[in-house]
Structure 1
Amino acid sequence: MMQIIVDRIRATLPSVNDDIIGYITDILKTNKTDYTDYQEVDDALRPIFEEIAHDEIKPEAITELCQFVSDQLKLETLSGDNGLTHEPKKLSTPILIGHYSSPTFDTVSSALFNISDRTFIKPTNETTTVSQKKLEKAEAKLREKQEKRARDGVINGENKEQARLEDAVVSQATNKRLLADNENSDSTNKSYDIHIDNFDVSYGNKMLILAGTLDLIYGRRYGFVGRNGLGKSTLLRVIANRSLVVPSHLRILHVEQEIEGTDIIALQSVLECDERRTALLNEEKELNRRLHSSNDSSTTHDSFISKRLTAIYAELETIEAHKAESRAAVILNGLGFSTEMQSMATKQFSGGWRMRLALARALFSKPDLLLLDEPTNMLDLKAIIWLENYLQTWKSTILVVSHDRTFLNTVATDILHLYSQKLDSYRGNYDTFVSARTERLKNQQREYEAQKEYRDHIQVFIDRFRYNANRAAQVQSKLKLIEKLPVLRPVEKEHEVHFRFPDPEPLNGTILQLDDVAFAYSKNIPMILNNVNLSANLSSRICIMGENGSGKTTLLKLLVEELEPTKGQRHGHRNLAIGYFTQHFVDQLPMNINSVEVLQLRFPGKAVEQYRTALGRFGITGDTALQTVMSLSGGQKCRLAFSLMCMKNPHILVLDEPTNHLDMETIEALAEAIKKFQGGVVLVSHDELVIKRVCTEAWLCRNGSVTALENGFEQYKKLIETELQY
């Protein structure tokens, strides 16, 4: 943060010398919390800046400089009371960090919290002097403020440090000439490609992307992959809010949050996304009202209204407004909304269904750039297959974060890979990316080994003849050769993920069984499940499939005794322990304590080493186990939930959509851990990789019944594809 202030001071006042910079940074570093508003900064620093400027800089520039310093210090000291975490705070406008010395580039920042140190203007060697009186006056004001704040009890340790949620920080170098050409071109010649060069993204103290380059070609579909917590969702957000500079004529839509529940029906909510159609229809309605009004019937007036109506009808015809309702209905139906549901008010839907509505609105509005963050998490397999087919006909650009391998293989034309703060682009779908990346890493490893062997060979010669006077010239030549060689860096490999479920105590025979079970939530509604017969033992690998609302989660709750059957019997071994992972388990974790404390809270009385061991089985080790749950990524919270689930050494794992928050590598680790688990598994998932790798039995929930599928997942998939064709 301080380096950013120094860079801005040098950019505004090029003649400032290092002594003055040192004086300013010293008082700012030691007393930054004393500057609570712009006026305090202005009082302390303006006399110094004016003395340096010698009337060469306009007063407005000094005012802007003081405002900049004030803003940066506010960002550094934002916090609430009593150590409580507050909502993220943002400045109302982006902060301009400074300018490159080249006139064709400027540095734009919408960074609202600490940016990584970057020097944009090199300091000059010119010297400046500031009168001692001015410095003494500034110091006197500073002491006065400190004494006042001390009396008010603000300093001297009374204001406690607290955690705060920080916003993403973005800095970007943009080419002014290219941007101007793009913005000034006429509408027929505007480019819809996106080129973002040399940008950084950080979050809090963590650098996410360093010197990144992003090229999105119009009409291509980009899958965005990488480990959890590296910044994929953050990058989507900064593109959506235009913190990164993208052409202003592009319409960008980011599907991230569910829509607000209101009295508007679902179908109308989707139709309202077409703002042009809505505006034309409203204008048509108003003009017809005025045309038939008895108060205004002049010929000229009527002629004007008639001409305007003719133009409106022509434009409505051009945009095919008459097809809008049917198109919206097709999208809603594909995402699982029945005809009855399309007529329901949005406030009647749960959060998951309102997320589907947000996706439907995005698909209907056809933006130039569609940003999707894990769209398959909220969908059942039927909706996923429909979405895959729909997106393959998409005309504009898509950037989608997804950890669904099958979805990316079907939809993506390109893959963006984020790792080690870098963005790499690959042509082709996910399988092509895996093959290309594997080959690239092999080539890098071969190149590294060849360079190392060459260096070692030279070093052997140097070590052998270092003290031989006759070979001194040759040794010096070899030393210079080594200095000129490129820096030798080993290939960066992502660490492997390993999960391990604890082995349960042995139990023989059938340990969990449902006999002729039926269930309804009340007597006045039909049975959700009827005549269900299901059994499981320690070798079971059962997958429960079906559309959303078909009763899958209800069936799991019957198995774990969260619900009692309306009819029939549930039988379980008297020593049976069940580990239950729910879709919403992650959201119910306490946020203000660390992972070890979460386990202590749920399972008190054990040694700390036992809690650490339970967490370590799922990769939560070291300092990560001592971070607050709030600071963990979605995938890390999932791992914590698995650790909690396994504290009882369960005989059967009952898993409801366990892969929703996990990245590709973690999903594969989970599948491998389930395969090695010595107990039984009952799984609800739409992840094809996990189902095929793990499950040996498939059961379909549909129309209140649960039936076995002999050919498993493939049989269910073919059934859905057949239904979608009609």
Structure 2
Amino acid sequence: MSSIEIAEQIRSSLPGTEEIVVQYLSGYLVDDASEDEDILEVARYMLESVTIGKEDALEPLMKSLTGILQERLVQREKARGGPKLQRLDKVMDMSKAGAMSSTIAFAEGVDLESINKGKASRVDVKKLEKQEAKLKAKIEKRSRRDLYEGSKLLEQANKNKQSYEEMFMKINPLEASGAASKNKSKDIHLPSIDVNFGSNRILSGASLTLAHGRRYGLIGRNGVGKSTLLRHIAMRDVPIPPHITILFVEQEIVGDDTSAIDSVLKADVWRDHLLKEQAALDAKLAELEKPGAGGEEMSDARLEEARDEVSARLTEVHASLAEMEAESGPARAAALLAGLGFHEEDQSRPTRSFSGGWRMRLALARALFVKPALLLLDEPSNHIDLNALAWLEDYLQTWPGTLLVVSHDRAFLDAVATDIIHQHSGRLDYYKGNFTQFYSTKSERERNLTREYDAQMEYRKHLQAFIDRWRYNANRAAQAQSKIKILEKLPELSPPEVEDTETFRFPETEKISPPLLQLSEVTFGYDVAKIILNKINIDVGLDSRIAIVGANGAGKSTLIKLLTGELNPMAGQVNRNGRLRVGYFAQHHVDTLIQTMNPVQFLASRFPGKTEQEYRSHLGNFQISGMTGLQLIGTLSGGQKSRVAFAVLSLQRPHILLLDEPTNHLDLEGLDALMAALSSWNGGVIIISHDERFITTVAKELWVCGDGGVTKFMGDVQAYKNLIVSNIKARP
């Protein structure tokens, strides 16, 4: 009997149970419980709090746990010297309490009346409070040990972090890109891999198959481990053949005095290394060819031999440089930077002068420049505008190597992916085609599995009914036995997995008289000599559904800040209704969240006066439920932090929502929930987004920000993207 065995039993019986609950219970049942505690009863109480809607699974799980813990239960009984009868100090009928327990149980308020479903419960209140206090202390202790395991691993990784050059040379030895790898297959087929993050199992016996030249979109829910899988591949923690070069774009580059274009050129470490070696060999050869080279110490034969050695190595270096098209490097680097939005003057600027988002673009340009055999991208669209995204989609469609990209942008996956990999339930499922084809195939496959399962259940029911009726009838006994054999031979089918759907809910806003929010002839610039927005006119009402697009730096976020009142115009007038409440979702919303608080505490600090249960209930409107509401915000995933930010927004009860890149970090289910919530909400919405499907679903008007103005675009998002690509290709 071990904590691992118990944890696996809980995961299999109650899939989707939060890992902290699984880890706490497994450790508690094996190691942490004191002798006077009824461990099975405590386990039942905790599991009841996570089995809402799954009550049928609780009793079978408790039976399994009882069997696993049988030996431990006997030992505990002996240690206590047998059961002891005790007189209760005080008796209380909890069925008449009608209120929440005044203590905190299992790190959250528990409605004892609800748990007992109206049945009278006679308990010793003092002992109950003492037991709850013990449980709370143990949860906090175990949380400190287990909850941040992933964070500790990341901290350790950061301490051992190597420079880009060291990591590149370690992951991609020079021979991997040399002639030795020319005739080797660059397909990847690993029939069974396991991937863990700390004690959390990400993949178990999964098959990883990547055909060279194919472009794979990796999808799955937030927290399923997609980024962890990419990191394992990038660090060769799974056995990728050594001749396949790998590059993973995950973090922004560190800023220094290197110019943007030089930063891209230096990204190909072996190109840079070989160019330096070529310069050194040229200098050495020139030195050896001077009259009197080598002096008296070196004979003519030895001098000639040295020249031959240097010449031979120089020939090898030239061949390697020619193979990697080193001479065309500066032109290719400039073209990549231009496509990602870097103007010619920007390409000469030092990397430290760029913001985080632009440094992420630089990291992307560096990866595209290197052209690895396997390119790994993690949400590349999160840090680029619609203009750069349109260029990137077009560029990746002709990518010569293998591409594995994590993205929740359906339009991006439709444009780029040739295959979809669905990561779920510890495995990888493969589908041919882009996202739209995947969705259609998956839906049809699920319908077929459901039909097959339902048909077999009906057939089993029919056989069992016949057996039950005629089993003990002498005339039909033989037929009944035949049916029993048929029933035993039927393959066991598991019920098809039902994926949870998400719903977000913004509270209905009360109507107020127009005008709500107007910009009249507004002009703004951070410098008088450089005007960003000139004579802008916008009228926003409760029925407004506006999407603002344009290149980074064109003034989209500046326009939003003028509407929120964060910035004041240099000229013109901003009119706001005195009763107007505006909710603003910033592009870098994480900066507004206090990382050392949990979501419940953060909501209480911003909107005091409610009970903990009310805050938890409100967070549940955005799928932050159960123990997640008590985790530190700093340990939440990007998608979970976004959900907390939306919960904060909705508590403001806004009339107008201004959303700057709200889709970043949200998984497909979260994105669907947000689109549905905004579509049914009765307030005004202005969005800045690069997600084509999100814009098409939510917005009724498309406005383009650029050249100091904001103008309405008479077409859809796809037409706008086509126009961008045409303009980029038309550049000299």
TM over 0.5: yes
Matched, 1:605 2:605: no
Question: Which letter does structure 2 place at the counterpart of 1:468?
Answer: N
Q: Does residue 582 in structure 1 map to residue 586 in structure 2?
A: yes
| Structure 1 residues 320 and 421: CA distance shift in structure 2, 3 A | closer
Provide the residue aligned with 1:260 in structure 2: 254
- Report the alpha carbon displacement of residue 629 of structure 1 after superposing the two structures with TM: 2.4
Higher helix proportion: 2
> How far is the alpha carbon of 1:215 from its aligned partner?
0.7
Match of 1:538 among 535, 538, 542: 542
Decide which of 651, 673, 677 is 1:673's aligned counterpart: 677
TM-score with structure 2 length normalisation? 0.72
Per the TM alignment, residue 478 of structure 1 is displaced from its structure 2 partner at its CA by: 3.0
Is 2:511 the counterpart of 1:527?
A: no
CA–CA distance in structure 1, aligned partners of residues 264 and 491 of structure 2:
57
Partner of residue 408, structure 2: 403
State how far apart, in whole Å, the 1-side matches of 2:309 and 2:207 are: 52
1:706 counterpart letter in structure 2: V
2:488, 2:538 → 1: CA distance?
71
Per-residue CA deviation, residues 567-593 of structure 1 (Å, 9 max, x unaligned), is 222111000011110111134422333
Cα gap change, 1:487 to 1:591, in 2 (>3 Å):
farther
d(CA) in 2 for partners of 1:315, 1:200: 37
Question: Does residue 1:282 correspond to 2:299, yes or no?
Answer: no
List runs of 5+ in structure 1 lacking aligned partners. 6-25, 32-155, 169-181
Change (3 A) 1:30 1:430: closer
* Distance in 1 separating the partners of 2:718 and 2:403: 28
Asked if 1:630 corresponds to 2:634, the answer is yes
Structure 1 residue 295 displacement after superposition: 9.1
Match of 1:213 among 173, 192, 207: 207
Cα distance change on mapping 1:230 and 1:487 into 2, 3 Å: same
| Aligned partners of 1:199 and 1:211 also within 8 Å | yes
**For residue 256 of structure 2, what is the amino acid of its counterpart?**
T
Letter of the 1:705 partner, please give it. G
Aligned-partner Cα distance in 2 for 1:4–1:490: 26
Matched, 1:229 2:223: yes
User: In 1, Cα distance between the equivalents of 2:208 and 2:263?
Assistant: 33
The alpha carbon displacement at 1:214 in A equals 1.2
**1:628-707 → structure 2 map (5 Å cutoff):** 628-707=632-711
Provide the residue aligned with 1:164 in structure 2.
Answer: 148
CA separation in 2, counterparts of 1:676 and 1:322? 56
8 Å Cα contact 2:597-2:633 kept in structure 1 = yes
Counterpart contact for 1:210–1:421, Cα < 8 Å: yes
Residue number among 376, 401, 415 corresponding to 2:381 in the alignment: 376
* 8 Å Cα contact 1:381/1:547 also seen in 2: yes
Residue in structure 1 matched with residue 348 of structure 2 by the alignment: 343
Partner deviation per Cα, 1:625-662 (whole Å, 9 max, x = no partner): 23332343322221111010110110000000000111
Instruction: Report what 1:487 is aligned to.
Output: 492
Tell me what 1:251 maps to.
Answer: 245
C-alpha distance after superposition, 1:108-164 (max 9, x if no partner): xxxxxxxxxxxxxxxxxxxxxxxxxxxxxxxxxxxxxxxxxxxxxxxx99x955143
Quote how far apart the aligned CAs of 1:518 are: 1.5
Q: What residue is the counterpart of 1:458 in the other structure?
A: 463
Structure 1 residue 274, shift from structure 2 partner: 2.4
Equivalent-residue separation in structure 2 for 1:407 and 1:714 (angstroms): 11
CA distance in structure 1 between the aligned counterparts of 2:638 and 2:322, rounded to whole angstroms: 46
After TM superposition, list the pairs within 5 Å mapping 1:57-76 onto structure 2: none
- Does residue 619 in structure 1 map to residue 603 in structure 2? no
1:358-413 deviations in whole A, cap 9, x for unaligned? 11111111111111111111111111111111111111111101111111111111
2:563 maps to 559
Cα 1:594–1:274 change in 2 (3 A) is closer
Conservation of the 8 A alpha-carbon contact between 2:624 and 2:643? yes
Distance 1:693 1:3, change over 3 A: closer
- Cα distance in 2 between the residues matched to 1:478 and 1:392: 57
Q: TM-score, normalised by structure 1?
A: 0.73
Task: Give distance in 1, aligned partners of 2:337 and 2:684.
Answer: 37
Q: What amino acid is the match of 1:456?
A: K
CA distance, structure 2, for counterparts of residue 725 and residue 697 of structure 1 = 27
Give distance in 2, aligned partners of 1:712 and 1:458.
Answer: 57
Distance in 2 separating the partners of 1:715 and 1:563: 32
Query: Which one-letter code corresponds to 2:456 in the other structure?
Result: Q
C-alpha change, 1:305 and 1:684, in structure 2 (3 Å) is: same
Q: Helix, strand or coil for the counterpart of 1:700?
A: strand
List aligned pairs for 1:75-474, cutoff 5 A: 161=142, 162=144, 163-166=147-150, 167=153, 187-293=181-287, 297=293, 300=304, 301=306, 305=310, 308-309=313-314, 312-474=317-479
Q: Which moved more, 1:603-612 or 1:512-521?
A: 603-612
Cα deviations by residue, 1:19-71 (Å, 9 ceiling, x for unpaired): xxxxxxx9xx879xxxxxxxxxxxxxxxxxxxxxxxxxxxxxxxxxxxxxxxx
Structure 2 CA distance, aligned partners of 1:317 and 1:201? 39
CA distance in 2 between counterparts of 1:517 and 1:487 reads 69
1:593 matches 2:587:
no
1:246–1:310: structure 2 CA closer, same or farther, 3 Å change rule?
A: closer
1:465–1:724 Cα change, 3 Å: same
Q: CA deviation at 1:309?
A: 4.4
Do the aligned partners of residues 440 and 587 (structure 1) sit closer, same or farther apart at CA in structure 2, a change above 3 Å counting?
farther
Sort the Cα spacing of 1:200 and 1:498 in 2 relative to 1 into closer, same or farther, 3 A. same
Which residue identity does 2:721 align to in structure 1? K
Find the aligned partners of 1:296 and 1:670 in 2 and give their Cα distance: 79
Distance in 2, Cα, partners of 1:491 & 1:193: 32
Distance between the aligned counterparts of 1:279 and 1:369, measured in 2?
21
Alpha-carbon distance in structure 2 between the residues aligned to 1:691 and 1:393: 26
Alpha-carbon separation, structure 1, partners of 2:593 and 2:215:
35
C-alpha displacement at 1:699, in angstroms? 1.6
Q: Which moved more, 1:409-418 or 1:607-616?
A: 607-616
Q: 1:506 to 1:405 in 2, by over 3 A?
A: same
Cα distance change on mapping 1:443 and 1:528 into 2, 3 Å? same
Shift of residue 509, structure 1, vs aligned partner: 1.9
AA matched with 1:520: G
Counterpart of 1:197 in 2: which secondary structure? strand
Indicate the RMSD between aligned Cα atoms, in angstroms.
Answer: 2.7
Task: Give the 3 Å change call, closer, same or farther, for CA 243–604 of structure 1 in structure 2.
Answer: same
Identity value in percent: 50
Q: Name the SS of the counterpart of 1:725 in structure 2.
A: helix
Deviates more, 1:689-698 or 1:638-647: 689-698
CA distance in 1, matches of 2:687, 2:189: 43
Find the aligned partners of 2:537 and 2:324 in 1 and give their Cα distance.
54
Task: Give the Cα separation in 2 of the matches to 1:199 and 1:2.
Answer: 24
Deviation at 1:315, TM superposition (A): 4.5
Per the TM alignment, residue 272 of structure 1 is displaced from its structure 2 partner at its CA by 1.3
- Of 286-295 and 361-370, deviating more is 286-295
Residues 308 and 425 (structure 1 numbering): CA distance in 2 closer, same or farther, change over 3 Å? closer
Q: 1:285 corresponds to which letter in structure 2?
A: A
Report the AA paired with residue 607 of structure 2: F
| Structure 2 spans left out of the alignment, 5+ residues | 6-26, 33-136, 155-175, 295-302
Alpha-carbon displacement from aligned partner over 1:482-531 (angstroms, at most 9, x marks no partner): 233222321112111212211111112220011111122244x4112111
What SS is found at the alignment partner of 1:339? coil
User: Which of 511, 516, 523 pairs up with 1:518?
Assistant: 523
| Contact kept? 2:268, 2:370, Cα under 8 Å | yes
**How many equivalent pairs are there?**
563
CA distance in 2, matches of 1:369, 1:188: 15
Per-residue deviation, 1:165: 2.5
Q: What's the CA shift string for 1:654-704, capped at 9, x where partnerless?
A: 000000111122212211211111000011001111111111122211022
Q: Against the structure 1 CA distance between its residues 609 and 3, is the aligned structure 2 distance closer, same or farther, given a 3 Å change threshold? A: closer
Retained in 2: the 8 A contact 1:403–1:663? Answer: yes
Q: What is the CA-CA distance between 1:4 and the residue it aligns to? A: 9.3
Hey, what's the Cα distance between the residues in 1 that align with 2:187 and 2:594?
44
Q: Structure 2 matches for 1:9-88, cutoff 5 A?
A: none
* Mapped partners of 1:634, 1:478: distance in 2: 54
Change (3 A) 1:564 1:307: same
